[in-house]
Amino acid sequence: MKNTLNLQLFANEVQTTLLSGLSAEMKTFYDMTLIDEAGPQLVHDQFGQKRPIPQNGGKNIEFRKFATLPKATTPLTEGVTPDGKSLTVSTVTATVSQYGDYITQSDVLELTALDNTILEATKILGRQAGATLDTVVRNVLQSGTNVTYCPKKSGDTETEVTTRSGLDATCKLTVDVVQQVVAKLRAQNAPTVDGYYIAVIHPYVAYDLMRDPEWIDAHKYATPENLYSGEIGKIAGVRFVQSSEAKIYNDNTCPVKTAASGENPAVYRSVFGSLFFGDGAYGVTEVTGGGLQTIVKQKGSAGTSDPLDQRSSVGWKALKTAEILIPNYLVRVESCSPKFETAPAN
């Protein structure tokens, strides 16, 4: 409680000294506040191979991946040193893009507000930044071509589905499908993360999966304190992380729920893209070290564009990219949900 109070007093100092600009300590404080608020939103981001933003290195960034070694099945000859192997390193190059937004506030708001409006704006912007950057990563991961479609179910009968449009309301994510995906990842020698694969799923998908009696809630873990951000439980060798930003498709690539009639367009059934992956499947740029920063502009800094010193602003900008490094280590599982048939795309 004492530290929180001190930070608030420190932040209030900024509110009353905008005309003289921010000190380095104040800038660091707001940068950290922005990153702290963004952190919980970065669900997809947290499992990627991290790379810092290159300083003065242009817009390209390199992710490295190491080739596996073949089996050494030839018996050794006594006293003879065999030929060794060398590490084979390949690179995947990605181009960073810049993202950002800002909030403008008036001098009247600064003078009359009871709260520290800069601090509150930074918190709001931090959550926006986190959601934005996580979506950038999510969209890259969703572009993978290693896809499993949940089968149709009719009693004890299963029917294979091979396209997104072929899904229907019975195509739920089940423990059996999870086990199939795990078998697929293991067959492709995808390494685990501390003994488990990771899955990022939407809360609507989690609703279906958590009905299964084999489900283990996160609070029942032997060590529940060692949780990932958003983690809700585990099953079949997979730890599940829940995010409202997990992908929802709802367009003409999805199954038709209600056909078009007259002036009424077709209604499509929502399809959920759950991501299952092993260690090293993808890479991301870090948000620390210049990857995400706060920009505070005091009143009057705009010159003749603000002749009466009426406006200040708080904003953020970030450089971000992500890249799939080993496609076989990442599986997208597409499913529907009978309870949430027409959820909007995100």
H/E stretch holding 147 = strand 147-149
Please determine, for residue 230, whether its predicted confidence score (pLDDT) is greater than 90: no
- Which backbone phi and psi does 199 adopt, to 5 degrees? -130, 135
List, as one string, the DSSP characters of 148-175: EEPPEEETTEEE---SGGG--TT----H
330 and 210 in one domain? yes
In this prediction, what percent of the chain has a pLDDT beyond 70? 77
168 and 63 in one domain? no
Domain range for 312 is 20-67+90-141+283-322
- Provide the 3-class DSSP secondary structure of residue 338: coil
- Confirm if 42 and 136 have CB atoms less than 8 A apart: no
Identify the pLDDT of residue 343. 93
Cα–Cα distance, 21 to 30 (Å, whole number): 13
Average per-residue pLDDT for the chain: 81
Task: Examine residue 98 and state whether it is found in any structural domain, yes or no.
Answer: yes
199 and 58 in one domain? no
According to DSSP, the residues that pair with 59 across neighbouring strands are none
Task: Examine residue 232 and state whether it is found in any structural domain, yes or no.
Answer: yes
288 and 207 in one domain? no
The residue among 219, 220, 231, 146 whose CA lies nearest residue 193 is 231
- Write down the pTM of the prediction: 0.79
136 and 249 in one domain? no
Please determine, for residue 73, whether its predicted confidence score (pLDDT) is greater than 60: yes
Please determine, for residue 227, whether its predicted confidence score (pLDDT) is greater than 90: no
Name which residue leads in pLDDT, 220 or 207: 207
227 and 294 in one domain? no
Q: Give the CB-side neighbour count of residue 186, counting CA atoms within 13 A.
A: 11
316 and 202 in one domain? no
Identify the pLDDT of residue 79. 85
276 and 177 in one domain? yes
Task: Examine residue 3 and state whether it is found in any structural domain, yes or no.
Answer: no
220 and 316 in one domain? no
Segment 53-67 mean pLDDT: 69
In this prediction, what percent of the chain has a pLDDT beyond 90? 39
Q: How many domains does the chain have?
A: 2
Express each pLDDT in 150-197 by its tens digit.
999 988 899 999 999 999 999 999 999 999 999 999 999 999 998 999
The residue among 90, 273, 281 whose CA lies nearest residue 185 is 281
168 and 220 in one domain? yes
The residues near 205 (Cβ < 8 Å, ≥ 6 apart) are 173, 246, 272, 274, 335, 337
Task: Examine residue 76 and state whether it is found in any structural domain, yes or no.
Answer: no
Residue 222: pLDDT band by 50, 70, 90 thresholds? Answer: low
330 and 192 in one domain? yes
Express each pLDDT in 263-320 by its tens digit.
889 999 999 999 999 999 999 988 766 678 888 787 766 666 776 777 778 888 888 8
Please determine, for residue 142, whether its predicted confidence score (pLDDT) is greater than 80: yes
134 and 24 in one domain? yes
Tell me how long the chain is: 346
For residue 39, the domain's CATH number is 3.30.2400
The residue among 183, 96, 185, 180 whose CA lies nearest residue 144 is 185
List, as one string, the DSSP characters of 9-44: HHHHHHHH-GGG---HHHHHHHHHHHHHHHGGG-TT
